[in-house]
Amino acid sequence: METTVKQDKAFLSYPEPWLSKALFASRASVPFWTIVRLYLGYLWLTAGWGKITNPAWVGPEAGGAVKGFLSNALTLTTGERPSVQGWYAWLIENVFIPNAFVFSHLVAFGEVLIGLALILGLLTGLSAFMGGFLNAAFLFAGTVSTNPLMFVLATWLVLAWRVGGYWGLDYWILPWLGAPRGSWRKSKDQAEARGNKSAA
């Protein structure tokens, strides 16, 4: 099967494969991505809520939990197969630990905001990306736990950004922001146009 390439003055545009459309952009996939989004949002919200209600994470004494976590990560930089790479250990020692108070609040409130945004379907692709970014940071620090699963789900949601928040606030927000309308909005617009044409 030949792949057509549309050429514009400024760039080349390649059509999206049918499989990619079916998995990440079709209205039929909306229920699946809604379940994934809500589940991932629940994981982030509960993790963040546990932190913002903990004085070791939020408040005047914040930073202790982050320092403990990162100090443990530094112990994983030795051995034949270190879990934490040298470049990340440098960041831990010179950037993260000295600013543990700030990062403690950023992580705690960031997790809550990511969780709420995913549950509400608010900028799903961006929210999932930020969650995946946090997961990657935890993985680089040698923490496995649920991070691999959450990272995979976040990556998939980033790919499904057009329909991930269809049953959520993205239904109204994405078109308002000027994002390309997905096939589910096009079909609705076409039906409205046909109705208006018939009425005329």
Show the 3-state SS of 54-70: CCCCCCCCCCHHHHHHH
- Measure the CA–CA gap between 8 and 165, rounded to whole angstroms: 30
Q: Which 3 state secondary structure label does DSSP give 17?
A: coil
pLDDT of residue 108: 97
pLDDT of residue 199: 53
- Measure the CA–CA gap between 168 and 175, rounded to whole angstroms: 13
Q: Which 3 state secondary structure label does DSSP give 6?
A: strand
Q: Encode the chain (200 residues) as per-residue pLDDT tens digits.
A: 445 555 555 667 778 888 999 999 999 999 999 999 999 999 999 999 999 999 999 999 999 999 999 999 999 998 888 899 999 999 999 999 999 999 999 999 999 999 999 999 999 999 999 999 999 999 999 999 999 999 999 999 999 999 999 999 999 999 998 876 554 455 455 545 555 555 55
Q: What is the DSSP string of 104-148?
A: HHHHHHHHHHHHHHHHHTSSHHHHHHHHHHHHHHHHHTT--TTHH
Tokens linked to 41: 């949002």
Tell whether pTM > 0.85.
Answer: no
Burial zone of 30 (CB within 10 Å; 0-12 exposed, 13-18 middle, 19+ buried)? middle
